[in-house]
Structure formats: C-alpha cells, structure tokens
Structure 1
Amino acid sequence: MSQPTPGIPGARNIHHIAYTVPNLDQAVDFFINVIGAELLYRIGPVEDATGDWMTRQLNVHPRASTHIAMLRLGPVTNLELFEYTAPGQRQELPRNSDWGGHHLAIHVDDVDAAVEYLRSVPGVKVLGEPQTITEGPIAGDRWVYFVTPWGMQMEVLNMPRGMPYEKDTDARLFGPWESWNSHSGSER
C-alpha cells in the first residue's frame, strides 16, 4: 500500500490572499490605480444581526459587519480585502515582527524604477533604499519595502532566474510572468 501524499487532499493552488483594511474604498482605489489590480467584485454588508454566524464562520465578534472586495493582481494572484466594523476592534496594523505580521511582495523588472514611481505616489512611504543581497541562497535578489497610505507593508523585488538556491533543488518559485496584465481571463 502506498503512502498518501502529505497535505490537504485535492489541493490545487492558492485561491486568494486576504487583508483587512481600515477603509475599503481607499484600499481598492490604491490597488487599482497605484498597483494595477483589476476589481472583480464587491459584496456586503456581510453580518448576522442576531446570531453567532460571524463568530462561528469568521472568528470575529458576533456583531461584526464587513464589506469585501475581490481583486486580481497579475496573472495568478487574487486579493480579497475586508473592511470590518466590530465591537472591541483593534485598529493597529501589526509590524512585520509581530505575530500575524505580513507583507505583500510584487516582482518588478527594475526595483529602482519602481521606487521612483512609488515615491511619487502621495501617502506612500518607501522604507530605506533598495538593497541587493550579495551572499547566500538568494544572492542577486534586489528589494525594498514600502508602506501604503493606510500603513500596510508591501515590497517590490527583482529575483532573477538562476538564483544560487536553484543548484540544490529542482523546485522553482513561480514567475516572473511576461507582464502584469498579460493574463487572458480566468485560466483553470
């Protein structure tokens, strides 16, 4: 009898990543007009005024309410944004070093050109200067973090093919794709 493959049975791909934002309109506008995302849909409010569905299904306060937007970023990434209102809601974004800390990284052709563009966007803060990793398994990677107007951390990077780690494994990171907008709808 063969051993089952580890992992979730039938898993195919990551469907989406999701972030909670303080202002859904602002975040959707930013992702469309600054990052280049495509809005797929918006729904809401999602709430349960008398029951406990929000707690059972989403692990939030039972009186929480949310509005949701789904966006497409490039050829393979779906991004879901939530704007919640809830009793006792914490309104502080985690730092990268906090539990639950996070950032979204976007591969670009030219990190310096991306930084020049991002510095021209009102409310965006580029953290430091672009860095190039000179040693180790990802030597050649060039990157810099930036912060959106509402405080979400993001990164632009260029990780060229032929990275040092590739000599030790046949596994490869996905990308880069030909162009951010080169997808042709919803490939399945």
Structure 2
Amino acid sequence: MSKYRNILGINHIGITVPNIDQATSFFKAAFGAKIAYDGLSYEDKPRAGEIAECQLGLSKNTQIIKQRMLVIGKEGPNLELFEMDASVQKSPVSLQDIGISHISLFVSDIDNALSSAVKAGASPLSEIHGNSRYEDTIGSSSVYVKAPWGTLIELQAIPNGYYYPEYSESKVWIPKN
C-alpha cells in the first residue's frame, strides 16, 4: 500500500486579492463562481498577531480582514480568497516567477468563456491558441487572461482529453461533462 494513500486530492487554491467583494464579483461574472462560505467577514475581528504570523507565514503586523471560499464548476478544487491589510504587498507573480503562477479552468466553450472573462474585466494576454504537448488533441485550445488585480487565469478547452508518454505514472483529472 502506498504511503500516500491518505492524500485525496487538491482541496483549494488560495489567492490574495486587493478587494474580496470585487474579486468575488469578477469570478461570478466571468466564471459563474458561487460563494460556499466566508471564513472571516468584515464584521469579525481580523486574524492577526504572532500566532497567525507563525501559523500562516505572514509578515509582522499583517492582518487577514476577510476570507471567502468560492466554488467554480461542479468538480475540481475550490478557490479561497483572502483580503489582507498588510504594510508590504507585492504585485502578483508572472508565469516566469517562482511560486504559484496561475490557475487553469477547464472550459467547454473557450470563445464564450473568454468573452465572459473580458466582460467581467479580465485582459487577455493573446488570442486563443493551441495547447502544449499532451494537451494538444483535436479541438484543444487555451488562452491566458489577467484578472483585474493581475492574477493569471488560464482558460483551457481539451474536449478530446490528453495523450500520455510511456513514462506517465498517472492520468490527469478531466471533468466528466
């Protein structure tokens, strides 16, 4: 039995945004996101202090002022948004930077998904284009957009699934529909 048998999958991806309500509006308008819950609301005392700094790796005097879990689609990981009051915040990372650089959403109609994202305030980095090796099956395409606060989001259509090299140890999750 594998020592990783207790690992079930990715629960969520966290993104810090400048304004959680504006980011929620964007994700709702662009991708049909739904609020699951607010782990911390504006009415709650901010999460801050030495314990939060230690547990979460926050810089000194940083406060989490709002935290929200969103659901996009029917399957896959959730999206956790954080709004911080921090004396030091950096711009979002770009694809070449070390760290988590983007999220990717499976879409069934890339033209429609891109249109919705742009109407909601996203900026596409390019035209819709083909996918990378093993994702480049017939009808596949992708495009990166920048959310209004700068986070990169990849829209990816892979209607005919992936193909795999001989050394592959697993297959990538694909929505059933």
Q: Distance in 1 between matches of 2:79 and 2:161?
A: 29
Give the match for residue 7 of structure 2: 11
Give the match for residue 111 of structure 1: 110
Give the match for residue 71 of structure 1: 70
The one-letter code sitting in structure 2 at the alignment partner of 1:139 is D
Q: Distance in 2 between matches of 1:124 and 1:162?
A: 27
Q: Do the aligned partners of 2:30 and 2:113 also contact (CA within 8 Å) in 1?
A: no
For residue 108 of structure 1, report the CA deviation from its aligned partner: 1.2
Q: Distance in 2 between matches of 1:59 and 1:74?
A: 30
Alignment equivalent of 2:37, drawn from 24, 28, 41: 41
Give the match for residue 158 of structure 1: 157
Q: Distance in 2 between matches of 1:165 and 1:177?
A: 19
Give the match for residue 86 of structure 1: 86
Q: Distance in 2 between matches of 1:115 and 1:81?
A: 22
Query: What count of residue pairs does the alignment treat as equivalent?
Result: 169
**1:80 match: secondary structure:** strand
TM-score (ref. length: structure 1): 0.78
The answer on 1:58 being equivalent to 2:50 is: no
**1:30 match: secondary structure:** helix
Root-mean-square deviation (CA, aligned residues, Å) is 2.4
> Aligned pair in 2 of structure 1 residues 122, 14: CA closer, same or farther (>3 Å)?
closer
Q: Do the aligned partners of 2:135 and 2:161 also contact (CA within 8 Å) in 1?
A: no
For residue 166 of structure 1, report the CA deviation from its aligned partner: 6.8
- State the Cα deviation string for residues 73-108 of structure 1 (Å, max 9, x = none): 122321110011123x12311111111241111111
- State the Cα deviation string for residues 47-98 of structure 1 (Å, max 9, x = none): 24xx5112211111242211100111122321110011123x1231111111
Q: Distance in 2 between matches of 1:38 and 1:81?
A: 12
Q: Distance in 1 between matches of 2:31 and 2:99?
A: 23
**1:144 match: secondary structure:** strand
Q: Distance in 2 between matches of 1:83 and 1:31?
A: 15
Q: Distance in 2 between matches of 1:53 and 1:62?
A: 11
> Aligned pair in 2 of structure 1 residues 22, 102: CA closer, same or farther (>3 Å)?
same
Please, which runs of 5 or more residues in structure 1 have no aligned partner? 179-188
**1:113 match: secondary structure:** helix
- State the Cα deviation string for residues 97-152 of structure 1 (Å, max 9, x = none): 11124111111122223223333x1532111111124x843322311100111111
Moved beyond 6 Å, runs of 4+: none
| Structure of greater Rg | 1
Q: Distance in 1 between matches of 2:60 and 2:47?
A: 8
Q: State the identity as a percent.
A: 28
Q: Do the aligned partners of 1:75 and 1:177 also contact (CA within 8 Å) in 2?
A: no
The one-letter code sitting in structure 1 at the alignment partner of 2:126 is G
For residue 167 of structure 1, report the CA deviation from its aligned partner: 7.0
TM-score (ref. length: structure 2): 0.82
